[in-house]
Structure 1
Amino acid sequence: MANLIELIFKSDEKADLFNFIGELRQFDHRYLLRNDILLAFEEFCKAYEKPSSYSRNSRLSRLVYYTQEIILETESICLVYRPKIAKQEIYRIYEDLAVEALTVRELLDIRDDFVDHFHPEEGDVFEIDLQPFYDYSPMIRDPKNIGQGMQFINRYLSSKLFQDPRQWLDALFGFLSIHQYNGTTLLINGRIRNQRELSDQIKDCLSFVSRLPDTQSYEEFRFELQNMGFEAGWGNTAGRVKETLGILDELIDSPDDRVLEAFLSRIPMIFRIALVSIHGWFGQEAVLGRPDTGGQVVYIIDQARNLEKQLKEDITLAGLDSLQIEPKVIILTRLIPNSEGTKCNQRLERIHGTENVWILRVPFREYNPNITQNWVSRFEVWPYLETFAIDAEKELLAEFQGNPDLIVGNYSDGNLVAFLLARRLKVTQFNIAHALEKSKYLFSNLYWQDLENVYHFSLQFTADLIAMNAANCIISSTYQEIAGFPDSVGQYESYQSFTMPDLYHVVHGIELFSPKFNVVPPGVNETVYFPYSQEENRLSSKINQLEELLFVNEDSEHIFGVLEDPKKRPIFSMGRLDRIKNIAGLIDIFGHSTELQKRCNLIIVTGKLSVFEAANDQEREEIERVYHLINVYNLHGKIRWLGIRLPKTEAGEIYRVIADHRGIFVQSSLFEPFGLTILEAMVSGLPTFGTKFGGPLEIIQDQVNGFYINPTNLEETADKILEFITKCEENSGFWEFISKQAIERVQNHYTWTTHTKQLLSLARVYGFWNFTSKENREDMLRYLEALFYLIYKPQAKSLLDEHMQR
């Protein structure tokens, strides 16, 4: 940055920088974010008649492009520049163009000052700095490798095995010695007393099993292996045992990261998994579309179902069937007494199609029954989580008949409970955020006090800091979720430094280069979402009914709009009605283009279409906005709006019915952390247009298997859709080509089989890492506990006091 400014100062662009700063001062507001800055520069170039090459290739344009925010001060500007992913620099530029570099602490003071909460005296604000706790840990160096923590740890550990073989082989021997299931020893027994004997016995055992037929069952030679010191867990056949011991033998003789990963992936050490998701209506029927639920129920149930399937396969391959081991997965959530006809008031519910996957519901303790008897928003659950964790611990131990082997938190509240449980039970903790509210609500930390009565961000952001730093592993769906893109900040990156005026400053909140981060995208349920061309698997008895529902039926309180020409190509979208999902924005795009209206119908499916059904003000506002836009653009006869909740199987079939009509799917979210509906549409065969803001950028390859859109640019988005439709009309095979590419993209990269295999590999690798490394996490965990008791609990107590008055 300093070099870039120096180059600007030495060129004719110095005057342009001076003039551009002057133009910024014409703005009504003094805190400008990247979009504001880019628009201001675009207007500057027009006003000063700059050539188009200047706006793209000048030094000043580069400075502007990588500037994330500008704060206009009285005699200077403060500028936050992000030249690289996960790296920011801060500068103050004075009116005479003198420049000084600023520290993060100085930036946080400036932000406080901006909202009139300036603390001029040193030590006047609580400061959170977690950087020292990462100083002793190995770190990823290259930003492009952020999110590949498991590969990094495997390389690091294998190098340690090579550099200091005795110490690390002792640790490996110790690790193999601890595995058991319900008191039954696994892998090695007392006949092998140290790592030297282990190495020798491996070679003897390999010699023995090599003489057996590869298909011979483990049960037929188990006693011979026990005499050599090897218990169950190496394989179910002689061939499998030979492979596993061969990998271990190679690892001991010539350490290699790929060999280490291959060996750890076979260790039977995960049998009981707790998935924690607190705030939603969590069930299998009549819960989708409920407030704050979104796709979390679908994601977690599909994940749990596939985890059981993979665990059973792993147990069989390890040769543990004779021990009658039954893997168990429990989804821990809250019990809601007033469940409104759902099963959310039942303590235990088995997941359909599984043998041992359960929803375990634990109630919040009774404080004010008017609150705790009912559903509680994710913004309001905070006072109940500590006691929930205490009660849930007893329930989990009873259901598992022992400790879980892995606890996976979901969302901010579930991650905090996962931290509390893992801390007490000394179990590996994984976090999955799905979405971090801090990125969704602009200035949410800066103006937290103004928003506190609704959103309680002081609690949420504190919970996020505690849980994400405590976690052994953080799973994200995309790279951008962690570290963003070259021109935009990632969700976790936004926690690196921020201020909550009058509460605390975060100087260093999370280490993005930590190997705890891993990108593991979810899959789609292949029994529900599959290509429209698979006629043999489709719901033939429902297709005609869904056709009528989507295009023809008139007599229903859950349908608004009659299509003048149902044969026109359908533009389809499905989602809940909130500001971020931006269903109304798609109607705005459609209404903005008369050409789209001539050639297409717009069909949307949401949970509701009446303001009387709205669960909150935001949903009510979106419903009113939809009706307003339909009337303003006079879209009657061109739009069909279904306010229904469909069973999952019928929701899957709807995508395929739209594909039968050669329709398209448009996902118009203002921000999308991942994009599960995009996967569902693509694997069904629908050409898909997805928002460029968030995860869809990593799912879709633009112009190859789908298309990016900027839903805030109505004309540009309409033109992209029209361009595709024109190509389809000119080339009858173009729709089928994109459809096929979309299907292949999902089937090759986004399956639950791939997801669960990666998740379990991570659990084994991080279990080994925690056991063998000298990393001392206790000091960090103590620090995080202090944050919990000093900041979180007093804020939670204040919210509880408020709840008691309702």
Structure 2
Amino acid sequence: MNNQGLYIALISVHGLIRGHNLELGRDADTGGQTTYVVELARALASHPEVARVDLLTRRVIDPKVSPDYAIPLEPIAPNANIVRLAYGPRRYLRKEVLWPYLDSMADQALQHIRETGRVPDIIHSHYADAGYVGTRLAGLLGVPLIHTGHSLGREKRRRLLDRNLEPRQIEKHYNISERIDAEEMAMDVADRVIASTRQEVEEQYSLYDNYHPRRMRVIPPGTELSRFHPPTGTEGNSRVKGMIERFLTNPEKPLILALSRADERKNIQTLVRAYGENKQLRDTANLLVIAGNRDDIGSMERGPRKVLTDLLLLIDRYDLYGQVAYPKHHHADDVPDFYRLAAESHGVFVNPALTEPFGLTLIEAAASGLPVVATRDGGPRDIVGHCKNGLLVDPLDSDRMGEALLEAVSNRKQWECWSDNGIKGAHRYYSWHSHVEHYVQEVGIVLDKHDKARPVQLRTSRLPTIERLVVCDLNDTLLGDPTSLRDLLEALEEAGDRVGFGVVSGQHLESTLAVLDEWGVQRPDLVVTLMGSEVYYGNRMVEDHGWRKHIDYRWDPEGLRQAMGDIPGVRLQAADRDHKIDYFIDPDTAPPVRKIIRYLRNLDLHANVVYSHERFLDLLPIRASKGLALRYVAAKWGISPQHILAAGDSGNDIEMLRGDILGVVVGNHSHELERLRGEPGIYFAEAHHAAGVLEGLHHYAFLEARQPPVTLEEDE
């Protein structure tokens, strides 16, 4: 354990995150996960072995949301901060459209860490999008990754298919394949996957190729128990009483409380049917539905609009006026009062969600002394199993749901037992103190096993004359046309010592240098060979051994060669190196590359699989690639990614071109790069080879003495 105290970086990409008055239920992205990460940051920072916690998220500058989300740094507790990184468009975006900007977030996070002056001991990513960022960041820094999925893509896709949604529609709206790939990537790299429930590990994670339970731990989330406690009779809850009682004819009846976002997965419609079709339940209790905040249903996004419209139609169908309350607005500080008001009335909390990875609201209700009726999926099974404070039901069986709710509000002796059990169980199993103790203990185990020698040293640049760096792929980008190559080299020479020059190559060093000599190119400042698996500097081509050690992580070349030998249509090339295994692949007889990746993952073999030119398949360590090597160099030498221009022509250059690095695709590029067209910060040149690189340099005004590099407009 670090004698300075632990520095933990949490990553949560989407939603609206701030340290006060969380806008829970505002949309599908601002729910339990935002509460979890904020409270986890505070709880970790209070532990005596933790020195600093940074919660990295996205900076949003948008008149449609609070200016709070534009503040770059927000302290939320002693030694805990929300750090908002500026990347992508300024406006608020739903998580499904953030994927093109995640490489930029990784670059911005790296810059924040450089400014901090200390490398985190642990990176902890939350959800698939943060898993993508965390995988890259942990790999660049050489630190362990912890990942929490929260909600898993394979389970979501299964549920959507069960609702008869078309696969093409699911893919278009949810980017589900990209999400699942990011989850696989995070599981590939993570030293620990932290889950909330056993069911999550055994039934949901088991659907993944990288399912290896020995790296998974169940640590239930905590609850801020100082906010959620049983009614004492002294709280002033007149505000919530006022907003509810105006709906109700007999407000003294027990309250059935539902609290969630207006999301179809929360299954509010089935709850209203269960209530509306059970006359005895309607006579016994009132229903209170808190479904986020709204001003005008007609102006909301399609999903929440449909849920709330269906709610109003069902209330009308069953004539539930005077029996159902559905207030338009509430504050986050009102939520504990909702629970206590329902508990005072001897009511019940209901979570009818179709799927519930955890169920933080169930713990809040339990701590408030309010019994629960919940879906038998996911987290509620563990929570009710621990707390013994209610009933589990099939979320699609409205008749049984109505019966369970009636049982909960009708049997006073049972109610008292469940209420008492819930209070005790919440404190025993779900306090933040208990969560953090287990968490820090697990971190200690991970760090004891992890190589603490980090390759990225956060110190002043050792190349002070280099302000910017031009990096070119070798064959068919830098080389190919002698005239334009000469023009490019002259332009770089005229720029002087402030502009460095590097090449990246799929060949080994000796071949790369021989080709450069043949074309009359002097030794570059940087040479990255074997597609990112080796890094060399200066005239003497000194190898960066820190990078070599860094990419050794989970690299099993013998196991990979043996496994690949069983795959038809792939043939080992004659020579390979320590950290690169090369194959020829026949796409007509070999299985799809995605199936090869899954096959290796199932064998617990880890590789960055690169397919290019429709005939090459290269296996690299999971921490090795052209893009990762380039960002490692940027971090080590103190060069901002925005001051690096990278040029390429083929599919194995994609990662190098994305993110905050300025990308140039030369005119003679392979069709594999067409999918990058239109992405921010990537310029498609018309000219071929080195002339295309020169065109890109002019486009970005990269070599002009006092002109900052030109980037695409943020909201373009």
Name the CA distance, whole Å, in 1 between partners of 2:349 and 2:674.
43
Distance 1:706 1:612, change over 3 A: closer
Alignment partner for residue 409 of structure 1, among 109, 112, 125? Answer: 125
Q: Which residue number in structure 2 is paired with residue 189 of structure 1?
A: none
**1:420 correspondence with 2:136:** yes
- 1:287 shift after superposition: 3.0
**Deviation per CA, 1:776-800, whole angstroms, max 9, x where unpaired?**
5145264546899769876973683
Q: Which residue number in structure 1 is paired with residue 46 of structure 2?
A: 309
Distance 1:511 1:704, change over 3 A: closer
**1:355 correspondence with 2:55:** no
Which AA in structure 2 matches 1:299? Y
Distance 1:440 1:571, change over 3 A: same
Alignment partner for residue 290 of structure 1, among 26, 30, 40? Answer: 26
Which AA in structure 1 matches 2:223? V
Which AA in structure 2 matches 1:617? R
Alignment partner for residue 361 of structure 2, among 666, 677, 681? Answer: 677
**1:272 correspondence with 2:151:** no
Counterpart secondary structure, 1:643: coil
Name the CA distance, whole Å, in 2 between partners of 1:524 and 1:464.
26
**1:493 correspondence with 2:210:** no
Counterpart secondary structure, 2:385: coil
Distance 1:799 1:761, change over 3 A: farther
- 1:333 shift after superposition: 0.4
* 8 A Cα contact 1:611 1:620, kept in partner: no
Q: Which residue number in structure 2 is paired with residue 394 of structure 1?
A: 111
- 1:471 shift after superposition: 0.7
Q: How does 1:431-442 map to 2 (within 5 A)?
A: 431-442=147-158
Name the CA distance, whole Å, in 1 between partners of 2:300 and 2:341.
30
Name the CA distance, whole Å, in 1 between partners of 2:434 and 2:299.
38
User: 5+ residue gaps in structure 2?
Assistant: 454-548, 557-605, 610-621, 628-650, 659-672, 683-711
**1:543 correspondence with 2:259:** no
Q: Which residue number in structure 2 is paired with residue 512 of structure 1?
A: 212
Counterpart secondary structure, 1:529: coil
Name the CA distance, whole Å, in 1 between partners of 2:624 and 2:9.
26
* 8 A Cα contact 2:10 2:53, kept in partner: yes
Distance 1:382 1:279, change over 3 A: same
Q: Which residue number in structure 1 is paired with residue 489 of structure 2?
A: none
Q: Which residue number in structure 2 is paired with residue 698 of structure 1?
A: 382
Range moving further from structure 2, 693-702 or 755-764 = 693-702
Distance 1:443 1:644, change over 3 A: closer
- 1:724 shift after superposition: 3.0
Name the CA distance, whole Å, in 2 between partners of 1:286 and 1:398.
28
Name the CA distance, whole Å, in 2 between partners of 1:738 and 1:800.
55
- 1:727 shift after superposition: 2.2
Looking at secondary structure, tell me which structure has more helix per residue. 1
Alignment partner for residue 416 of structure 2, among 733, 736, 739? Answer: 736
- 1:511 shift after superposition: 2.7
Q: How does 1:623-772 map to 2 (within 5 A)?
A: 623-648=308-333, 650-701=334-385, 704-728=388-412, 733-771=413-451
Name the CA distance, whole Å, in 2 between partners of 1:749 and 1:572.
23
Distance 1:605 1:798, change over 3 A: farther
Which AA in structure 2 matches 1:276? I
Q: Which residue number in structure 2 is paired with residue 160 of structure 1?
A: none
Counterpart secondary structure, 2:46: helix
- 1:443 shift after superposition: 7.3
Q: Which residue number in structure 1 is paired with residue 277 of structure 2?
A: 592
Q: Which residue number in structure 2 is paired with residue 200 of structure 1?
A: none
Which AA in structure 1 matches 2:282? Q
* 8 A Cα contact 1:608 1:614, kept in partner: no
User: 5+ residue gaps in structure 1?
Assistant: 1-175, 182-269, 316-326, 366-371, 484-489, 496-508, 554-561
* 8 A Cα contact 2:371 2:408, kept in partner: no
Q: Which residue number in structure 1 is paired with residue 60 of structure 2?
A: 336
- 1:573 shift after superposition: 1.1
Q: Which residue number in structure 2 is paired with residue 571 of structure 1?
A: 256
Which AA in structure 1 matches 2:84? R
Q: Which residue number in structure 1 is paired with residue 570 of structure 2?
A: none
Counterpart secondary structure, 1:580: helix
- 1:494 shift after superposition: 2.0
Distance 1:786 1:584, change over 3 A: farther
Name the CA distance, whole Å, in 2 between partners of 1:435 and 1:795.
32
Distance 1:703 1:518, change over 3 A: closer
Which AA in structure 2 matches 1:607? G
Name the CA distance, whole Å, in 2 between partners of 1:331 and 1:738.
36
* 8 A Cα contact 2:102 2:133, kept in partner: yes
Counterpart secondary structure, 1:604: strand
Percentage of identical aligned residues? 27
**Deviation per CA, 1:698-738, whole angstroms, max 9, x where unpaired?**
1103994211111211111111222333322xxxx332221
Name the CA distance, whole Å, in 1 between partners of 2:555 and 2:323.
62
Q: How does 1:107-506 map to 2 (within 5 A)?
A: 181=4, 270-283=5-18, 284-285=20-21, 287-291=23-27, 292-310=29-47, 313-314=48-49, 327-338=51-62, 340-351=65-76, 354-365=77-88, 372-399=89-116, 401-442=117-158, 448-483=167-202, 490-495=203-208
Distance 1:670 1:798, change over 3 A: farther
- 1:749 shift after superposition: 0.6
**Deviation per CA, 1:376-402, whole angstroms, max 9, x where unpaired?**
211111111112101211112313x21
**Deviation per CA, 1:637-672, whole angstroms, max 9, x where unpaired?**
111111223133x21122112111111111110110
Name the CA distance, whole Å, in 1 between partners of 2:168 and 2:677.
13
Q: How does 1:601-640 map to 2 (within 5 A)?
A: 601-608=286-293, 611-612=296-297, 615-640=300-325
Alignment partner for residue 800 of structure 1, among 661, 679, 684? Answer: 679
Which AA in structure 1 matches 2:36? Y
Name the CA distance, whole Å, in 2 between partners of 1:756 and 1:632.
48
Q: What count of residue pairs does the alignment treat as equivalent?
A: 480
Distance 1:778 1:338, change over 3 A: farther
Distance 1:444 1:602, change over 3 A: closer
Name the CA distance, whole Å, in 2 between partners of 1:704 and 1:275.
33
Distance 1:581 1:799, change over 3 A: farther
TM-score normalised by structure 1 residue count: 0.56
Distance 1:338 1:772, change over 3 A: closer
Which AA in structure 1 matches 2:46? K
- 1:280 shift after superposition: 1.3
Distance 1:518 1:735, change over 3 A: same
Which AA in structure 1 matches 2:676? K
- 1:593 shift after superposition: 0.9
Name the CA distance, whole Å, in 2 between partners of 1:639 and 1:799.
49
* 8 A Cα contact 2:387 2:422, kept in partner: no
- 1:460 shift after superposition: 1.2
